[in-house]
Structure 1
Amino acid sequence: MRILVTGTAGFIGYHVARRLLRDGHAVTGIDGMTAYYDVALKRRRHAMLRESAGFTCHEFLLEDAQALADVFTGCEPELVIHLAAQAGVRYSMENPQAYINANIIGTCNVLEQARAHPPRHLMLASTSSVYGANRSVPFAESQRCDHPLSLYAATKKATEDLAHSYSHLWNLPITICRFFTVYGPWGRPDMALFRFTANTLQGRPIDVYNNGDMARDFTYIDDVVEAVRRLSTTPPRGPGESDAGASPVAPCRVVNIGSGRPVSLLAFIESIEKALGTPCIRNDLPMQPGDMPRTWADCSALRALTGFTPDTSVQAGVEAFVAWYRTCYATTVASPAAQ
């Protein structure tokens, strides 16, 4: 298939593109190479993808509507996987405009091109953060998501609503993937696992918010890729589908992609200590604005649609990350995550 993937120099985008290339597809990638975190890491990911003859990449921001239109016209994608976004809860309080530009304007431009060049299936990345202040767990796709706790979450929920409207108006088959705390090799330096590993190896303390009284549905990257791959061949058919996240009026559905097994932050830190063979020095801090106390995915819709449930244990996933980190970064030299 001809597949367009946005955000191919990003963490999830890189892994998804690599899997699609390995499966024999022609992949066109787009990435803006923003400086939110180490651009050198992004370029290393793209360099590895370029080793495949089936990969073509373009470097521009999705806010550039004409550049995006040119790519769609040139590749006429059968499948679009839109993963590019401005991520990060705390950074959204420092630079809100980046989230409006990348997440809302950029996504709207992707939807406009999908309308002009309809693919068989459009997949859109969202986040567990959209569940916001919901207290009923596990989080199910049928729950209302009306109380976001951060601007990041608000912009991602806005993209979900935009996608649904385009699906309804233009009969576009769209799957919205709500990712739950994705981690693993080639992960983002701003995420906890990367920062905790880097700081501990350098003898620095790690910042532990809410004194560690938090839980996350950590989901290993290979499981996320497998879920996306399987969902890509199962586009929503339209109203009348019975799965939890299906729209009653459009060929649009929401699907949680998580492990379904929340892990406390303190247990996660213990897994890192075990993998590193050294204790972490904790700097306990209060809860940060915009953070959610816990996330927990109801994965029944994913299982019903694909027959797949993520099953990589946190210990195995953390050990894989630590092995990658030791290979890519000398422990005596500061990595991009050092604080």
Structure 2
Amino acid sequence: MGLTEFWKGRRVFLTGHTGFKGSWLSLWLERLGADVAAVSLAPETEPSLYQRLAPWDDRGHHIVDIRDAEALLALSRRFEPEIVIHMAAQALVRRSYENPAETFSTNVMGTANVLDAVRHTPSVKTVLVITSDKVYANSGSGIPFVETDTLGGKDPYSNSKACTELICQSYRDSFFKGHNLRLATVRAGNVIGGGDWSKDRLIPDFIRAFEGGEPIMLRYPEAIRPWQHVLEPLGGYLNFAEALTNEWGRDLPDALNFGPHPESFATVSELAEALGRAHSVEDVWRLAPGEHLPEAPALTLSSTLALDTIGWRPRLSLQQTIDWTAAWYKANREGENMRAFSLGQIAAYEEAVS
């Protein structure tokens, strides 16, 4: 499953490059020698991973809202990419409750704009759209979802990502079949790692509480999630995009899950306590008072199809994921060069999968 020379000089159009996952992927693509043109909003947090990983070659980085269809089309046609990786999204569940219209306009119409730009860019061979593990209709049973399970989603974020999947299906069937272009979606678990400072996510909430000398407040401590290090699904995305581009004669899935090994499924409180041990903290969490917006009690993924089709499997244990994450934030607090440190983690992960 190791990454090859495939990406060297490959023209990649990336959306969402200033976000948490997007910043990591931008750095990895740069390390692999890809020629990247990227669009995103300006970083929304201070600090931000994108800023920590600077300096960037700004010639290929553009601040563009994916809801601006004309700007997307102009950049795509000028750059003439071979591969499009669409990551840009409003990705926070609680924010989607606060502003559902923003969430749907970004995740649904923004995706339609990206795919419409692709439709008018003849150079594109492969499109990979990143959705979410939350696209499935979730009864809370805890049974790992497989790619053929029913799509759904009750909260606006989850529902908008299920809608994204349907938009991809429509564009695939209506415009891309028979035109030497492959479009697939990928669904990852609860992604953690160094450099996330988003609101209402467990790792950044823990780091803020730890640095403030306070316990973290948990809304649903018994909720089960498929925790995985950010480099795990990103490696899967790169492998899948390579296979879609190179293996035209092979029947590959239209969607793949990228989740952790079942041993990495854990409750929110279990992960918080493991983070506490990594930071030598005993009094780790408290139950947040008051009523909270609904969230699924259990969410787990099966990645069997990814193993069977492209040979991808998770490599890091839950403890390694926690250790790598804690090490990143520790290095950041101590003033290390976080671009070099992050490249070191990417190199270590490449070695693990080679």
TM-score range, shorter chain: 0.7 to 0.9
Q: Counterpart in 2 of 1:189?
A: 198
Counterpart residue identity of residue 145, structure 2: F
1:142 to 129, 132, 148: 148
Q: Counterpart in 2 of 1:306?
A: 310
Q: Counterpart in 1 of 2:338?
A: none
Q: Is the 8 A contact 1:80 1:122 kept in 2?
A: yes
Counterpart residue identity of residue 163, structure 2: A
Please report how far the alpha carbon of residue 144 of structure 1 lies from its aligned counterpart in structure 2 after TM superposition: 0.7
Counterpart residue identity of residue 106, structure 1: G
SS in 2 for 1:47: coil
2:65 to 61, 65, 68: 61
Q: Counterpart in 2 of 1:231?
A: 240
Sort the Cα spacing of 1:48 and 1:227 in 2 relative to 1 into closer, same or farther, 3 A.
farther
Structure 1, unaligned runs of 5 or more: 247-252, 332-339
For these two proteins, the number of residue pairs brought into alignment is 315
Counterpart residue identity of residue 76, structure 2: F
| Aligned: 1:162 with 2:188 | no
Give, in whole Å, the separation in 2 of the partners of 1:220 and 1:256. 15
Give, in whole Å, the separation in 2 of the partners of 1:325 and 1:84. 24
Sort the Cα spacing of 1:161 and 1:238 in 2 relative to 1 into closer, same or farther, 3 A.
farther
1:205 to 193, 209, 215: 215
Q: Counterpart in 2 of 1:41?
A: 48
Please report how far the alpha carbon of residue 45 of structure 1 lies from its aligned counterpart in structure 2 after TM superposition: 5.0
Q: Counterpart in 2 of 1:337?
A: none
2:230 to 212, 221, 224: 221
Please report how far the alpha carbon of residue 132 of structure 1 lies from its aligned counterpart in structure 2 after TM superposition: 3.7
Q: Counterpart in 1 of 2:77?
A: 73
Q: Deviations over 1:167-223 (max 9, x none)?
A: 11112411101111111012243220111122023222312123x211110111111
Q: Counterpart in 1 of 2:118?
A: 114
Q: Is the 8 A contact 2:126 2:182 kept in 1?
A: yes
Sort the Cα spacing of 1:59 and 1:324 in 2 relative to 1 into closer, same or farther, 3 A.
same
Give, in whole Å, the separation in 2 of the partners of 1:238 and 1:87. 32
1:82-93 matches, within 5 Å, as 82-93=86-97
* RMSD across aligned positions (CA): 2.4
Q: Deviations over 1:139-184 (max 9, x none)?
A: 11111123x1210011111111001110111124111011111110
Q: Deviations over 1:291-313 (max 9, x none)?
A: 11122111011111221211212
Q: Is the 8 A contact 2:77 2:120 kept in 1?
A: no
Give the fraction of aligned pairs with identical amino acids, expressed as a percent: 23
Please report how far the alpha carbon of residue 281 of structure 1 lies from its aligned counterpart in structure 2 after TM superposition: 3.9
Give, in whole Å, the separation in 1 of the partners of 2:291 and 2:261. 24
Give, in whole Å, the separation in 1 of the partners of 2:257 and 2:222. 24
Counterpart residue identity of residue 198, structure 2: P
1:5 to 14, 22, 28: 14
| Aligned: 1:151 with 2:156 | yes
Give, in whole Å, the separation in 2 of the partners of 1:122 and 1:287. 41
Q: Is the 8 A contact 2:97 2:156 kept in 1?
A: yes
Please report how far the alpha carbon of residue 329 of structure 1 lies from its aligned counterpart in structure 2 after TM superposition: 3.8
Q: Deviations over 1:301-330 (max 9, x none)?
A: 111122121121222222222222223247
TM-score, normalising length: structure 1: 0.86
TM-score, normalising length: structure 2: 0.83
Please report how far the alpha carbon of residue 113 of structure 1 lies from its aligned counterpart in structure 2 after TM superposition: 0.7
Q: Is the 8 A contact 1:260 1:297 kept in 2?
A: no
Please report how far the alpha carbon of residue 42 of structure 1 lies from its aligned counterpart in structure 2 after TM superposition: 5.2
Q: Deviations over 1:99-158 (max 9, x none)?
A: 122111111100101111141110001111112423361111111123x12100111111
Give, in whole Å, the separation in 1 of the partners of 2:195 and 2:77. 31
Q: Counterpart in 2 of 1:30?
A: 39
Q: Is the 8 A contact 1:276 1:322 kept in 2?
A: yes
Give, in whole Å, the separation in 2 of the partners of 1:28 and 1:206. 38
Give, in whole Å, the separation in 1 of the partners of 2:208 and 2:198. 9
Give, in whole Å, the separation in 2 of the partners of 1:312 and 1:43. 24
Counterpart residue identity of residue 285, structure 2: R
Structure with the higher helix share, 1 or 2 = 2
SS in 1 for 2:60: strand
| Aligned: 1:315 with 2:319 | yes
Q: Deviations over 1:269-303 (max 9, x none)?
A: 12101110112442214773341112211101111
Give, in whole Å, the separation in 1 of the partners of 2:282 and 2:207. 10
